[in-house]
C-alpha cells in the first residue's frame, strides 16, 4: 500500500499544467455535475473562533486532526503580510483535507472554505474515495521550501515540497498502520494557484503534483 499523499495523485493532478508556465482554466474530473458539500455559502461549515481567526478577523471552520496525524509547516513567516497570509491559508487548506480523510465528514471538513474550482473537485473526490475505502494515514508530513509569487492583490502562486517519509497508510477498519519503505516517491513537489475571495481567504483553485521531484529530495 502506498504512502498517504501518493493516494492523492490522481485526484489532484486533474487540474492541469504548472501554474507558473501555463495559466489555463482548471479541467473537470467527473465531479463537476455533483454537489460538493461545503462548496457554497449554504454548505459552508460553521465557524469556530481560533487564534488565527481572531488575528485576521475571518471566521473560519474548526480544524482538528487526530493525535496520530501530525503536520509540520516550515517557513511560516516571510515578513511580507500578503505572503504570510497565503502561507497561513495553505496550512489550513491542506489540514481540512486530512481532517476529511480522518473523520469522514466532508460537509464540515472546511475544504469548501479553502478550495475552489478544479482543486476543490479534486480534493473532495480524493477524501470521498478514502472515506469509502476506510483509508487514512498516521505519522508526520513535513511541508517545506514554501515559496509564494504574488501576481496582484487577488492572485498568486504557491509552490512547496512535502516529505512523506515519516507517514504511513492507516486502515480505519482495523486501526492498523502499514509501514512503507522510504523512496524518492516519498518526496513531492506541489505547484498551486491561489486567489483571494471576498472574505479575504486565499483559496487554492489549481494544483499540480510532481511526485519524486528532484527539487524536494534530501
pLDDT digits (tens, 9 = 90+) for 31-84: 333 455 545 433 333 333 333 444 778 999 999 999 999 999 998 889 999 999
In a domain, 159, yes or no: yes
In a domain, 21, yes or no: no
Q: What pTM, to 2 d.p., does this model score?
A: 0.80
Tell me what pLDDT residue 168 has: 93
pLDDT in tens, 10-31: 333 333 223 333 232 233 333 3
CATH number of the domain that 208 lies in? 3.10.450.50
pLDDT bucket at 5, cuts 50 / 70 / 90: low
Q: Output the CA torsion sign for 85, 86, 88, 92.
A: positive
At residue 14, what are phi and psi to the nearest 5 degrees? -70, -10
State how far the alpha carbon of 153 is from the alpha carbons of 25, 48, 63, 85, 195, in Å: 19, 27, 27, 12, 9
pLDDT average, residue stretch 95-120: 95
Specify whether the CB–CB gap between 160 and 146 falls below 8 A. Answer: yes
Q: Which range marks the domain in which residue 81 is found? A: 4-16+65-216
In a domain, 24, yes or no: no
Tell me what pLDDT residue 13 has: 37
The 10 Å Cβ neighbour count of residue 180 is 20
Reduce the DSSP state of residue 107 to 3 states and report it: coil
d(CA 134, CA 28): 25
Give the rounded distance of the alpha carbon of 136 from its chain centre: 14
In a domain, 120, yes or no: yes
Q: Structurally, how many domains does the chain consist of?
A: 1
pLDDT average, residue stretch 89-111: 95
d(CA 99, CA 82): 26
Amino acid at each position: 500500500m502506498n504512502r498517504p499523499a501518493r493516494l492523492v495523485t490522481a485526484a489532484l493532478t486533474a487540474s492541469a499544467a504548472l501554474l507558473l508556465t501555463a495559466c489555463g482554466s482548471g479541467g473537470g474530473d467527473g465531479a463537476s455535475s455533483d454537489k460538493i458539500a461545503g462548496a457554497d455559502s449554504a454548505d459552508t461549515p460553521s465557524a469556530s473562533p481560533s487564534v488565527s481567526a481572531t488575528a485576521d478577523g475571518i471566521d473560519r471552520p474548526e480544524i482538528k486532526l487526530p493525535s496520530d496525524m501530525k503536520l509540520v509547516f516550515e517557513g511560516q513567516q516571510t515578513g511580507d503580510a500578503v505572503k504570510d497570509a497565503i502561507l497561513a491559508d495553505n496550512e489550513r487548506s491542506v489540514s481540512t483535507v486530512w481532517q476529511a480523510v480522518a473523520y469522514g465528514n466532508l460537509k464540515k471538513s472546511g475544504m469548501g472554505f479553502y478550495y475552489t474550482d478544479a482543486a476543490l473537485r479534486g480534493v473532495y473526490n480524493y477524501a470521498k474515495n478514502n472515506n469509502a475505502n476506510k483509508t487514512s494515514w498516521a505519522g508526520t508530513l513535513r511541508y517545506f521550501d514554501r515559496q509564494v509569487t504574488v501576481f496582484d492583490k487577488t492572485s498568486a502562486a504557491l509552490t512547496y515540497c512535502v516529505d512523506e517519509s515519516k507517514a504511513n497508510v492507516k486502515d480505519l477498519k482495523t486501526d492498523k498502520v502499514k509501514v512503507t519503505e522510504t523512496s524518492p516517491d516519498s518526496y513531492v513537489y506541489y505547484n498551486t494557484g491561489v486567489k483571494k475571495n471576498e472574505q479575504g481567504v486565499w483559496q487554492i483553485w489549481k494544483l499540480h503534483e510532481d511526485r519524486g521531484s528532484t527539487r524536494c529530495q534530501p
